[in-house]
């Protein structure tokens, strides 16, 4: 029995968003990036562009409306230039996008900014075809 090859070729898509301290509330899920239906996250990361200054810690989880930490659970974003990779799961996005949940380590933070970058493909979509 032979495998039926799919001649459709997809481009990898990239979305980026900057998340500021003023955009989030500790412990609350916030919509961060919209993705098309049938998207599969291939990779991604958080990169801190302005240090976060809660009393003891600053962590961010990345997920979706079904599972708040599907791609990252409590990644440490506190230090300037912190680079935290997402963990792709192979899950076909059950909803239209990704959420983030910031958790403060206390105090009254005044600074913090992180960039979220996500690469993904959309199943069933092809930009062109290739046959050998």
Give per-residue pLDDT as tens, 60-80: 999 999 999 999 999 999 999
Does 7 map to a domain?
A: no
Does 97 map to a domain?
A: yes
Could you list the residue range(s) of the whole structural domain that residue 75 is in?
A: 15-122
Q: If pLDDT is split at 50, 70 and 90, which confidence band does 20 have? A: very high
Q: What is the pLDDT of residues 76-123, one digit of tens each?
A: 999 999 999 999 999 998 777 999 999 999 999 999 999 999 999 999
Does 36 map to a domain?
A: yes
If one counts the domains in the chain, the total is 1
CATH number, domain of 30, equals 2.60.120
Neighbour count for residue 77 (Cβ, 10 Å)? 25
Does 2 map to a domain?
A: no
């Amino acid at each position: 029995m032979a495998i039926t090859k799919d001649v459709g070729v997809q481009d990898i898509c990239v979305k980026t968003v900057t998340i500021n301290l003023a955009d989030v509330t500790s412990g609350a899920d916030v919509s961060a990036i919209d993705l098309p239906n049938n998207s599969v996250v291939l990779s991604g990361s958080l990169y801190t562009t302005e240090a976060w200054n809660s009393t003891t810690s600053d962590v961010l989880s990345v997920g979706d409306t079904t599972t708040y930490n599907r791609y990252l659970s409590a990644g440490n974003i506190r230090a300037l230039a912190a680079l935290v990779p997402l963990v792709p799961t192979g899950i076909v996005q059950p909803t239209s996008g990704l959420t983030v949940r910031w958790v403060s380590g206390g105090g009254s933070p005044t600074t913090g900014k992180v960039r979220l970058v996500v690469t993904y493909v959309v199943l069933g979509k092809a930009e062109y075809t290739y046959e050998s």
